[in-house]
Amino acid sequence: MVKENSILLALRQIIEVVSQKSSFEDAIALLVEKIRATMKTDCCSLYLLNNRKTRLALAATDGLSKESVGKVSLQIGEGLVGLVGERQELVNLADAPSHPNFKYLPDVGEDEFLSILGVPVINQGELLGVLVVQCKEKRLFDEQEETFLITLSAQIASIISVNRSTKESLENNVKRFKGKNGSGSIAIAQAVVWKPPVNFDTIQIMYSEDKDIQSELFHQTLFQLQTEMDMANLRLQESSHEMASSGYMSGYGCMLDDTSFEDEVDNEIFTQGLVAASAIKIIAEKRIALAKEAGDKDKARDIRDFAAILITRLVHLLPKETDISTPVVLVVKSMPAALVAEMPRNKIAGFVCIDSATSSHTAILARDLGIPAVIDVNLDIDNVDGHTIIVDGQSAEVLVDPSTSVVDEYMQLISQSRQLHDLFEKEKFEKGITLDGKRINIQLNAGLNHEVDDLSAQTDGIGLYRTEISFMLSNSLPNEEQQVLWYKSLLAQFKGLPVCMRTLDVGGDKGLPYLPIEEQNPALGWRGIRVCIDQPNILKTQLRAMLKAQLEYGNLEIMLPMISRLEEVLIVKRILNEAISEIEDETKQTVKRPPFGIMIEIPCVAYILDELAAECDFFSIGSNDLIQYLFAVDRTNPKVSKYFDTFNPAAIRCLKFFKDKTESLNKPISVCGEIAGSSLGSLLLLSLGYTNLSMNYSQIARVKYISRHINLNDLLAIGKKALTLNSSVKIKHLYTEYAQAQGLMSVIDQKK
C-alpha cells in the first residue's frame, strides 16, 4: 500500500487521470487499473447498480475475466458484493470463501482470491455501486487501506452519479414515472390510450355547413359499431356468457337495426344543419322521452347508453377494440371497475392507470388479474398513445420510449421471470410441504372469477374472499338472489375445500359507486364492520345469501373485517343466528353453522383476544391494515410508504404476539394480508410459526415453491434470532441469507 503521506497524492492522481477520459467506460476501466496498482492488490472491480436498483452488475475489472463485464451481476444481498450493497457497509475478510454469504461465480475467475475488501459507492444517501479489491493471499486489509478505498469511493460517486443521469436523459431519452401501486411482473408493448365515454348530458348542440361530411361520419361510425357489436356478441357466445350477450344485444341491437333512427338523424343533419353528435343526441332524447312515457325504463337506459357510445366514437375516434391484434399496454385516466374486470386478458399486456382516486380498488382488481400494472402514476396521457411503454409492476414504474439498451435489460428480466414460471409450473399441483415434512396451507385471496383450470387443485381453499369486489362491479346494491348466485359458484368451484367469505368491507380506500362515503379521514372512519352494523339490512341479506349458497356444499366459513370491539362480534352473531333460523324456517332444512372468524387488523384487539376467542372459531391477520394502524401509516400514501415496514422489530414482535397468544387460546390463525404472498414476507411468517398463508392467485406458485424448499425447523430458529434484533435491515438480512443458503435467491422477489 502507498505510504501514509502519499495517500492524498495518490487519490488526487487517480481522480485526475480518470476524469480526463472522455468515455465513462474508459474512465472506470482505468480507475480499477489504477486502484489495483496503487493498493498493490491482485484484483480491483467496480459493480454498478442497475436502473431498477435490484442488481449490482460488474462494470469494470482488473483481475477478473474481462468477458464477464456487463454479463455478471448479483442481486442486492447476494454474495459478498451484494452484502456490501445491502448493508451499505464495508466488508473486510481475510478468508472470503469461508463466509456464509460467499458466492462462487463460475467463469469470472475469482477462484484464486482469498481476501476481499469491499466498500459501497454512495451519493447523497443513494447506493450507486460497490468497489472491491481482492488478494490471493489470506490477509486482512489494514485501516489505512480501508480509509483509502472509502475516500476513493466517495470521490468517484459523483462521477458515477453524473454519468447515470446523463445516460438516462441523453442516451436513453427514457421517461421514467413512479406510480403509487404496482402489481404483476413486467410488460413491454405499445401504449393504447382509452378514454371514457362522453357524458351524454353535456353534449352541446352545434351546427355545421358540411352536411354531407357529417352524414357520412355518422353512417360510417354506425356501421363500424354494428360490426364490432356483432363480433363482441360472437365472442361472448363463444365464451359461454350467453346471458350477458343476450342482454348486451337486446338493448342496442334494436337501435342498430332500426333504419328509422338513421333517417331521423340524417333529417336533423340536413334540415337543421346539426353536427352528427348533436343530431344523435336530439333524436335519442326524443326516443328516451317516448320510452319513459311508455314506462319502459330499461329501454330508455339502453337508448341513452347506445347514443353515448355512438357519440363517443364520433368525438374521440377511439381505436376499436377489435383493432388490437397484438397485446398492448392499456393506458387510462380512470376506468370503471367493471371495465377493468372485463379487460380481455390475452390482449392486454400491461395496464397503466393515471388517476389516484381510483387507485385502491383498481389496484386490487389489476393485481387479481395478474396483468403487470402501475396505478396512480403522473403521466401525460395525451402524449403516450402509440409509444413504446415498459410497465414494471414490481417497482411500480412506467418507462416511456425506452432505449434499446433499457428494453434489453427488461427483456432479460422477462426471460428470467418466464424461467421462474416454468420452474413453478412443475410443482403447482403439489402440496405445500417443507423439506422437513411440515404442512403449510397455501390458500387463495379471491375477489374476481379466475378462468383458471384446476384452480382449486392448486390451493388449499380460499382464505379470504373479498366480497366487496363483486359489490364494486355492480351498478346497484346486489339483492339476495344475485349474491346467492355469486357465492354458490365459488363454493361449487372449491367443493370440499374451505371458502372463507369476508362480510362486506367497504369504506376507507374502497368505495361503492352507489354508497358513497365522503370522509375527512376515511382510514379511521366508517369502514368494514362498522358500515355493516349501521346498515344491518345489507349485512343480513349478505349473511342469508352466504348461508343459502352453502346449503348444497357445506364448505363456507364467515369472517368479519375491521373488528375493534367485542360488541361488534356479538351483534353480527345475533344477526347470523336470525338468518340461520329464517332460512331453516323457509327451506325446512337444517343449516350448517359455518366456522366463524374475525380479522386481526386493528391493534387494540391484542388486549381483548381472550374474549374474542370465546366467540369465534378462528383468526386471520389482515397485515395490510394491521401494519397501517400499528405504525399510523396510510397504506395508500407513497410519501410514507417507507414506514410501512413489515420487517420492523415492532411489526415482527406484534406478529409473533398474535401467533403465540392465539395458540395458547387454541384457535387457528392465518395471514391473508399482502405479506403472506411476498417472498421474504412468507419466510418471515413461517419463521414466526404461521403455517396458514392466503394470497392472490399470482403469488401462489412462488410461495408454494418457497415453502417446499425450506426447512421449517431452521426457519423457526431464524425467527427466534430475528425477534432479538433491533433493525429491519438486520432482520431482513437474516431471511435473505437463509434464502441464499437454500439456493432460493433467484426465486426471491426483492421488491416485495
| Minimum CB–partner distance for residue 694 and ligand PEP (Å) | 8
User: Given the rule CB under 5 A, which of 161-169, 409-417, 598-606, 740-748 is the region that contacts Mg ion?
Assistant: 598-606
| Minimum CB–partner distance for residue 18 and Mg ion (Å) | 53
State residue 400 phi and psi, 5-degree precision.
-105, 140
Q: Is 361 a catalytic residue?
A: yes
Tell me how far apart the alpha carbons of residues 502 and 597 are, in angstroms, rounded to a whole number.
9
Do 623 and 671 touch, CB atoms closer than 8 A?
Answer: yes
Answer with the entry of ligand PEP, Mg ion, none that 466 interacts with (C-beta below 5 to 8 A by kind): ligand PEP
Residue at grid coordinates 361520419 = 217
Cell of residue 271, nine digits: 334540415
Measured from the CB atom, is 101 or 620 closer to ligand PEP? 620
The DSSP secondary-structure symbol of 672 reads -
Answer with the entry of ligand PEP, Mg ion, none that 673 interacts with (C-beta below 5 to 8 A by kind): ligand PEP
Do 175 and 400 touch, CB atoms closer than 8 A?
Answer: yes
Measured from the CB atom, is 460 or 601 closer to ligand PEP? 601
The DSSP secondary-structure symbol of 209 reads S
Q: What angle do CA 568, 572, 573 make, to 5 degrees?
A: 115
Check binding of 622 to Mg ion (CB under 5 A): yes
User: Given the rule CB under 5 A, which of 137-145, 188-196, 459-467, 625-633 is the region that contacts Mg ion?
Assistant: 625-633
State residue 598 phi and psi, 5-degree precision.
-130, 155
Output the 3-class SS for 302-332: HHHHHHHHHHHHHHHCCCCHHHCCCCEEEEE
Answer with the entry of Mg ion, ligand PEP, none that 677 interacts with (C-beta below 5 to 8 A by kind): none
Measured from the CB atom, is 129 or 681 closer to ligand PEP? 681
Measured from the CB atom, is 350 or 508 closer to Mg ion? 508
Tell me how far apart the alpha carbons of residues 91 and 733 are, in angstroms, rounded to a whole number.
15
Q: What angle do CA 654, 462, 613 make, to 5 degrees?
A: 45
Q: What is the side-by-side order of every strand in the sheet holding 55-62?
A: 73-75, 55-62, 43-49, 126-135, 115-123, 91-93
Cell of residue 323, nine digits: 383493432
Residues that bind ligand PEP (CB under 6 A): 464, 466, 505, 601, 622-625, 672-673
Cα end-to-end span (Å), the chain:
43
Cell of residue 309, nine digits: 357510445
Nearest to 388 by CA among 401, 403, 374, 406: 401
| Minimum CB–partner distance for residue 635 and ligand PEP (Å) | 8
Q: By three-state DSSP, how is residue 346 classified?
A: coil
Answer with the entry of ligand PEP, Mg ion, none that 389 interacts with (C-beta below 5 to 8 A by kind): none
Tell me how far apart the alpha carbons of residues 305 and 354 are, in angstroms, rounded to a whole number.
25
Cell of residue 533, nine digits: 352494523
Taking CA atoms, 672 is separated from 188, 235, 563, 682, in Å, by 31, 35, 15, 11
Answer with the entry of ligand PEP, Mg ion, none that 672 interacts with (C-beta below 5 to 8 A by kind): ligand PEP
| Minimum CB–partner distance for residue 562 and ligand PEP (Å) | 8
| Minimum CB–partner distance for residue 187 and ligand PEP (Å) | 24
User: Given the rule CB under 5 A, which of 21-29, 386-394, 576-584, 623-631 is the region that contacts Mg ion?
Assistant: 623-631
The DSSP secondary-structure symbol of 512 reads B
| Minimum CB–partner distance for residue 469 and ligand PEP (Å) | 9
Q: Which of 532, 616, 672, 733 is catalytic?
A: 672
Tell me how far apart the alpha carbons of residues 626 and 289 are, in angstroms, rounded to a whole number.
52
Which residues are CB-contacts of 114 (< 8 A; sequence separation ≥ 6)?
A: 94, 95, 96, 97, 135, 136, 137, 138
| Minimum CB–partner distance for residue 557 and ligand PEP (Å) | 15
Answer with the entry of ligand PEP, Mg ion, none that 568 interacts with (C-beta below 5 to 8 A by kind): none
Check binding of 674 to Mg ion (CB under 5 A): no
Measured from the CB atom, is 460 or 625 closer to Mg ion? 625
Tell me how far apart the alpha carbons of residues 703 and 674 are, in angstroms, rounded to a whole number.
12
- The neighbour count for residue 588, using CB atoms within 10 Å, is 7
Do 376 and 353 touch, CB atoms closer than 8 A?
Answer: yes
Measured from the CB atom, is 172 or 623 closer to ligand PEP? 623
Across-strand partners of 726? none
| Minimum CB–partner distance for residue 515 and Mg ion (Å) | 18
Measured from the CB atom, is 46 or 464 closer to ligand PEP? 464
Measured from the CB atom, is 179 or 507 closer to ligand PEP? 507
Taking CA atoms, 323 is separated from 84, 195, 231, 368, in Å, by 50, 16, 12, 26
Nearest to 460 by CA among 663, 676, 745, 713: 676
| Minimum CB–partner distance for residue 702 and Mg ion (Å) | 22
Measured from the CB atom, is 432 or 622 closer to ligand PEP? 622
User: Given the rule CB under 5 A, which of 575-583, 610-618, 624-632, 720-728 is the region that contacts Mg ion?
Assistant: 624-632
Q: How many residues bind Mg ion (CB under 5 A)?
A: 3
Q: Which of 135, 361, 654, 733 is catalytic?
A: 361
Answer with the entry of Mg ion, ligand PEP, none that 511 interacts with (C-beta below 5 to 8 A by kind): none
Measured from the CB atom, is 377 or 630 closer to ligand PEP? 630
| Interface pick for Mg ion out of 86, 625, 634, 674 (rule CB under 5 A) | 625
Tell me how far apart the alpha carbons of residues 22 and 159 are, in angstroms, rounded to a whole number.
12
Residues 102-121 that bind Mg ion (CB under 5 A): none
| Minimum CB–partner distance for residue 46 and ligand PEP (Å) | 42
Q: Is 604 a catalytic residue?
A: no
Measured from the CB atom, is 18 or 464 closer to ligand PEP? 464
Answer with the entry of ligand PEP, Mg ion, none that 55 interacts with (C-beta below 5 to 8 A by kind): none
| Minimum CB–partner distance for residue 437 and Mg ion (Å) | 33
Cell of residue 7, nine digits: 495517500
Q: By three-state DSSP, how is residue 118 classified?
A: strand
Nearest to 47 by CA among 169, 156, 131, 103: 131
Answer with the entry of Mg ion, ligand PEP, none that 101 interacts with (C-beta below 5 to 8 A by kind): none
Contact letters (x/-) for Mg ion, 682-721, by CB under 5 A? ----------------------------------------
Answer with the entry of Mg ion, ligand PEP, none that 719 interacts with (C-beta below 5 to 8 A by kind): none
User: Given the rule CB under 5 A, which of 347-355, 364-372, 391-399, 599-607 is the region that contacts Mg ion?
Assistant: 599-607
User: Given the rule CB under 5 A, which of 363-371, 539-547, 621-629, 654-662 is the region that contacts Mg ion?
Assistant: 621-629
The contact set with Mg ion (CB under 5 A) reads 601, 622, 625
Active site (catalytic) residues: 361, 672
